[in-house]
Structure 1
Amino acid sequence: MLKEERFDHILKVIKATNKASFEELALSLNVSEDTVRRDIEVLAKSGLLVKVRGGAISPSASPLSFQDRADMFPDAKKVIALKAQQQLVGAKTVFIDGGTTMLAFVSSIPIDANFRLITNNIALLPLLSVHHGIEVIVLGGNYNRSTQTNVGVQTCLEAQKYQADVYFMGACSIDSQIGITASIQDEGEVKKILMASARKTIVLSNKEKLETVDFFKVCELSAIDALITDLPSNDPALDNYRKFDIEIL
């Protein structure tokens, strides 16, 4: 297929649905995701669409809503969720923060699970209502509607009161040189506090967030204990992360 034909297909999809992921476009075009990324970069520079993490949206569309983000990469999130679920064994107190991947993670937790969950992620509460064995503590603070999390000084102060066996961190961006960064400073500040109060920190990230950088530095990669992605643990795309003393899952 010619480049111009790919451009036409991408623009038609964006016009019809207002958004599309790299993965969806690559499958429909029968090309690699790298090819789609390059095409979208060209189209974005021309103002024909807006490149976002994991795909593209129409220039006339509003920023992706929480539900839009929750609907993206469902298969990848299921893989991550199943891997993360196995890390709950033996944990008595668990931190979980924001991010749409956490919805898939909590949905995968066995119904008879028994532990204490401390979170600032308000979107998890309806899912947790069926887990009678999980004690839920919600951190207060200022409610961010776009992320459906509580953040701010109050959230950080409350988080400092607790100690957890494991902290499951939702990643915004991960770079093998820069480390973990966040697009919202208040979210990043909460992550720092939760890390300091947990014996073990496990970062959950789909492959689209690897080798990307946001403006607020959360930590170096050497500060975390494990990285869970939707890729096989031996995938070459993870090679840059093996030099750090972290478990790749």
Structure 2
Amino acid sequence: MKKEERQKVILEYLSKEHRVTLLELSEYLNVSEDTIRRDVKELSDQGLLKAVRGGAVAPSPIPLHYRNREKHDLENKKIIAEKAISFLKDGQVVFIDGGTTSLALVASFPYDLKITVITNSFPVAALIEDLPNIDLIFAGGKMCKTSFTTASIETIDFFRNFRADICILGICSIHDERGVTAALYDDSQIKKNMIQNANFIIALSSIEKVGTAESYFVSPIKAINVLVTNIAPEDETLKVYKEAGLTIV
């Protein structure tokens, strides 16, 4: 089998399984692990998968642009929002990022909730306009038209001025080895600062993002306190995150 054909098979295999070891691919394709390791490196360099120790994982299947994400998987975003809302209490200061799942959470806020929201998300800010008991502090900076957020050095510096009770992250990818990662560099740095300046971190993630990885590191999974997904916490897929000390909801 030629290299191009072999690499195509690797990508097809990974699209179904989301994670694969070098040994599995070696046996599946009947070639040496060294050959597979070289293939995985080439594919990783092209951004088609993410190489991890002893194997590879798929990148996040979620569309990158906000307009393509806002209508994606709405039912599961609603499930996640309903689970996460119980962590919010009157009087809290809350960081909220620009994820569309975070937006779904804001859309579910009770009308009488009394918190302070600090965000860099234009859609989040627009929703809060109609909630009279929520104070809004908006992080300025250059607008990223891909995510409809502010994303610049000014935005990063802004979040360093606060110490939030809770940080709500609508994450792009989470993996037990690669940690929390993002597809955009500026977004990864903003999320990193949110985590560093908050007392309690809640990650919102549909199950299709779990076990995937992107290029820009945000945090190890142990930096997350709670992982909220759209499936039952007892699901085998989430076992490794529970073992790492995360509360699974």
Deviation of the 1:92 alpha carbon:
1.5
3-state SS of the aligned residue for 2:244?
A: coil
Calculate the TM-score normalised by the size of structure 1: 0.74
3-state SS of the aligned residue for 1:162?
A: coil
Q: What CA deviation, in whole Å up to 9, does each residue of 1:30-79 have, x standing for no partner?
A: xxxx99x549xxxxxxxxxxx98447xxxxxxx76422211111111001
Segments of 5+ residues of structure 2 without an aligned counterpart are 1-11, 18-57
* Aligned residue in 2 for 1:103: 103
- Aligned-partner Cα distance in 1 for 2:242–2:64: 33
Q: Which AA in structure 2 matches 1:126? A: A
Are the structure 2 counterparts of residues 64 and 117 from structure 1 closer, same or farther at C-alpha, using a change threshold of 3 Å?
Answer: closer
Q: What CA deviation, in whole Å up to 9, does each residue of 1:71-119 have, x standing for no partner?
A: 1111110011011111102551000001111221110000111010000
* Aligned residue in 1 for 2:190: 190
* Higher mean C-alpha deviation, range 224-233 or range 83-92: 83-92
User: What is the aligned-residue RMSD (CA, Å)?
Assistant: 2.2
* Aligned residue in 1 for 2:121: 121
* Aligned residue in 1 for 2:173: 173
Are the structure 2 counterparts of residues 242 and 83 from structure 1 closer, same or farther at C-alpha, using a change threshold of 3 Å?
Answer: same
1:12-161 equivalence runs, <5 A: 37-38=15-16, 53-54=60-61, 65-161=65-161
User: Deviation above 3 Å: which 4+ runs of structure 1?
Assistant: 51-55
* Higher mean C-alpha deviation, range 239-248 or range 209-218: 239-248
3-state SS of the aligned residue for 2:85?
A: helix
Q: How many residue pairs end up in the alignment?
A: 198
Deviation of the 1:125 alpha carbon:
2.0
- Aligned-partner Cα distance in 2 for 1:193–1:240: 25
Q: What CA deviation, in whole Å up to 9, does each residue of 1:104-147 have, x standing for no partner?
A: 11100001110100001111122111100000000011100110
Is residue 2:202 matched to residue 1:211? Answer: no
- Aligned-partner Cα distance in 2 for 1:74–1:150: 24
CA contact (8 A) 1:224 1:246 kept: yes
Segments of 5+ residues of structure 1 without an aligned counterpart are 1-33, 40-50, 56-62
- Aligned-partner Cα distance in 1 for 2:60–2:186: 20
- Aligned-partner Cα distance in 1 for 2:245–2:89: 22
Greater relative CO, 1 or 2 (CA 8 Å, sep 6+): 2
* Aligned residue in 1 for 2:36: none
Calculate the TM-score normalised by the size of structure 2: 0.74
- Aligned-partner Cα distance in 1 for 2:215–2:198: 24
CA contact (8 A) 1:188 1:217 kept: yes
Q: Which AA in structure 1 matches 2:134? A: I
Q: Which AA in structure 1 matches 2:67? A: Q
CA contact (8 A) 1:91 1:165 kept: no
- Aligned-partner Cα distance in 2 for 1:198–1:65: 27
Q: Which AA in structure 2 matches 1:237? A: T
Q: What CA deviation, in whole Å up to 9, does each residue of 1:158-211 have, x standing for no partner?
A: 111111100001111100111101111100101111111100011111011011
3-state SS of the aligned residue for 1:242?
A: helix
CA contact (8 A) 1:106 1:128 kept: yes
